[in-house]
Amino acid sequence: PIVPHMYDISSSVQYFKILEQICELYAEEINVQRLNILLTKVDNSTETMNNIAVINGAYGELILSNRMGLTKELQKSASDQISIYEIDQPRGSRDTYNRAMMLLDGVNAEILLGVRQIWQQEILTRMEKNDPVLKG
């Protein structure tokens, strides 16, 4: 996750530099099949939108298309250390709750799709290699 604020972006740049060094050092042991970046705490401010443009320029295709926005309902559930999915009744407006659910559902669906694609690719790779596990 990257929060589109300059201090968080700087921290993420350092993290990815370290990650790149580790992957180069342990290339044989590390098999990264997919790496994506989730933008979190996204609001509609001009500064945030400008920072998102910077992040897109740097990481482009790694950025998930769904973003985790910032809503009061998400802030309340986070402060209570629970998921939005665990809330029985909205504690604010129904629209804010529905928007939070829509954001979270979109992010989770995109992540799940990525996981399924990796699994399918793994199955195809094993089938091509005639893996005895798949033969049963």
Strands 68-69 and 40-42: parallel
Q: Where are the domains of the chain?
A: 1-64, 71-136
One-letter-per-residue 3-state SS of 25-51: HCCCCCCCCCCCECEEEECCCHHHHHH
Q: Per-residue pLDDT tens for 104-127?
A: 999 999 999 999 999 998 888 888
Residues in the chain, total: 136
5 CB burial (10 A radius; 0-12, 13-18, 19+): middle
Per-residue confidence in pLDDT tens, the chain, 136 aa? 888 888 788 888 899 899 889 988 998 888 877 889 999 999 989 999 999 999 999 888 999 999 999 888 888 888 889 989 998 888 888 999 999 999 999 999 999 999 999 999 888 888 888 766 655 5
